Each structure stands twice: as structure tokens, then as C-alpha cells.
Structure 1
Amino acid sequence: MEIRKALVNDYESIVFIDSQVIGSRKRENKIHNSIKENRCIVCEINKSIGGFLIFHKFFFGHLFIDLIIVSPRMRRLGIARNLMEYIEKIGEKKVFSSTNQSNSLMQNVFYTLGYIESGTIENLDEGDPEIVFVKVIH
């Protein structure tokens, strides 16, 4: 398992994984821009992309994990955990992210990695509040 910055050559594989999970290619511009801006990392297993993570620093100047997607056929291998641990090592004092209240699997990943709840945002997805998480890096 290798975690590395996404390359332009990874674009189609990343968009394919994303479209498998959400059922469309509507985020392909976001993915393309994040690769161009060096804000996308991938997890490669046996020369195949197993998942990716997109981050930015627009959340009050802090690093924010914007998107973590793992290929449905490669789940439960520690890909999300490895992507998050990689991003935690880039030298920021705090790392933020969020997930819907209905996404208990992702909440468990956050709790397992030492993230704590930092607040809730209502009205993004009707009837499914967004829970914001933070990890203070020591």
C-alpha cells in the first residue's frame, strides 16, 4: 500500500472510483482541480488506485479533509485510515473534516483515529446534519 500525491495520469481512475460511489461524474472538475493544485492524494495497491483524499486550507486557514472516497471493492483494508494518517503528517497543528450524521462508518474512522466532534452544521443535506470533526496534532 503506497500513499502518494495524485498525478494527472490518475485522474480517470479517481473519477471512476468517485462515480462508483456517488453514481455520477459530477465532481470531475473538482477532482481535476485538486490534482492540478496538489491537494489530492491516492492510495495505490498493486498498481491500482484504491481510494483518494482531497484537502484544502480554506476552512478558517486550517487544513480540511474535504473528501475521502474508497473503492467499493477495496473497503475494509485501512485505505481511509492510511490516507488520513498521511495527511496528518504534513505539519499542521489541527486537521478538520466532516461527515453526515447518517454516516456511522466514517464517524467510526474519525473516532478510531482520535478525532473529536467540533460542532454540527444544519441544512446542508435535508434531515441529515453534518458533523464537524477535529484532530489536534501533537
Structure 2
Amino acid sequence: MDAADRGEFVVRRARESEADGLAGIDTVAVEGDEERRASIRRWCRQGLAVVTEGASGPLGYCVVEYTFFGHGFVTMLMVAPSARGRGVGHRLLSAVAASCTTLKLFTSTNVSNQPMQRLLQRAGWSPVGLLHGLDEGDPELFYLCGRQTGTTHP
């Protein structure tokens, strides 16, 4: 994915050297979660992270992996708290949908994560399933991207 100017944001593949900057906008990593920091470093090193940046630096990032039954899966979508409500998450979802290399692209979120559910619905994703047992008392909702525009491979 090359850099794409999307209005006031640029969406592009994150570089390995940007892992610390992405950790700085990740609310879990900021709280000291070393496992999340390690995941961010790995995602950047493997070329799996897409970043949205503005004039002030990174505003959000998204990770797509291809280990979900052979389909793309948005493993992580994080928008800096100060950038929420500005279209950053929607732009990231659009970018990864356009660059997804499989026919289907999925993601999931907890039932309690209403902001993510609203974002997915606005972005044209459809709920496709519910899984109990991952987080006690907070089932996981699965979604399928409804406007897949990327290259497709059966």
C-alpha cells in the first residue's frame, strides 16, 4: 500500500521504525502492557500495520492478518483518543478493505464496545456471528466487510 492522501490524513503502510510512535497512541500500550508493545513491533516489522497520520503525527493504526480460516482479519484497530470522531477509523477500515488480498475480510469486537460497533456499521460491515467464552460476560461479535474493494483470491 502506497501513501494515500485522504483529505487531512495520509494512510500508508507503517514502517518498523514507527512502532514506538504507534505504541504512544495505543491506550493499552500506554498503560504499560509490554505484550501489546511487542505485538506492535512485530506487526510493523512484518508489514501488517497501516497507519493514518496527520500533521501532528500518527492518529491511528490498523492491522490485518491472514490467519482466520484463510481470510483477512482486522486484528487491531486503534485510534488515538484525541483523534476519535474525526473519521480516522473509517479511513483505516477503507484502506485495509481496498488492500485486502482475500475475498473476505472479517473483524470482531466485544458486545460492550459500542463505539466500534457503530463504526463498523457506518463503514458497511455486517454482523455475522457471536462467540461466547473469550472474555467472561462480554461476548465477541464478528463482522464481515460488506464493501470489499481489494484484490480477491479464492
CA contact (8 A) 1:18 1:25 kept: no
**Alignment-derived partner of residue 28 in structure 1:** 37
**Alignment-derived partner of residue 132 in structure 1:** 142
Supply the distance in 1 between the matched residues of 2:82 and 2:56 (Cα, whole angstroms). 15
Over 3 Å counting, the alpha-carbon distance change for 1:117 and 1:125 in structure 2 is same
Letter of the 2:128 counterpart = S
Out of 9, 13, 19, the residue aligned to residue 17 of structure 2 is: 9
CA contact (8 A) 1:119 1:133 kept: yes
List aligned pairs for 1:1-138, cutoff 5 A: 1-19=9-27, 23-26=31-34, 27-90=36-99, 91-136=101-146, 137=148
Letter of the 1:43 counterpart = T
Structure 1 unaligned segments of length 5 or more: list them: none
CA contact (8 A) 2:128 2:143 kept: yes
Segment of structure 1 superposing worse, 14-23 or 68-77: 14-23
Q: 1:9-66: CA deviations, max 9, x gaps? A: 2111111111467723330111111111110010010050000011100000000000
State the TM-score, normalizing by the size of structure 1: 0.93
CA contact (8 A) 2:29 2:37 kept: no
CA contact (8 A) 1:15 1:25 kept: no
Supply the distance in 1 between the matched residues of 2:107 and 2:30 (Cα, whole angstroms). 19
**Alignment-derived partner of residue 4 in structure 2:** none
Structure 2 unaligned segments of length 5 or more: list them: 1-8, 150-154
Supply the distance in 2 between the matched residues of 1:93 and 1:121 (Cα, whole angstroms). 22
Q: Name the count of aligned residue pairs.
A: 138
The alpha-carbon deviation at position 92 of structure 1 amounts to: 3.1
The alpha-carbon deviation at position 103 of structure 1 amounts to: 0.6
Give RMSD over aligned pairs. Answer: 1.6
SS at structure 1 position matched to 2:42: helix
CA contact (8 A) 2:106 2:142 kept: yes
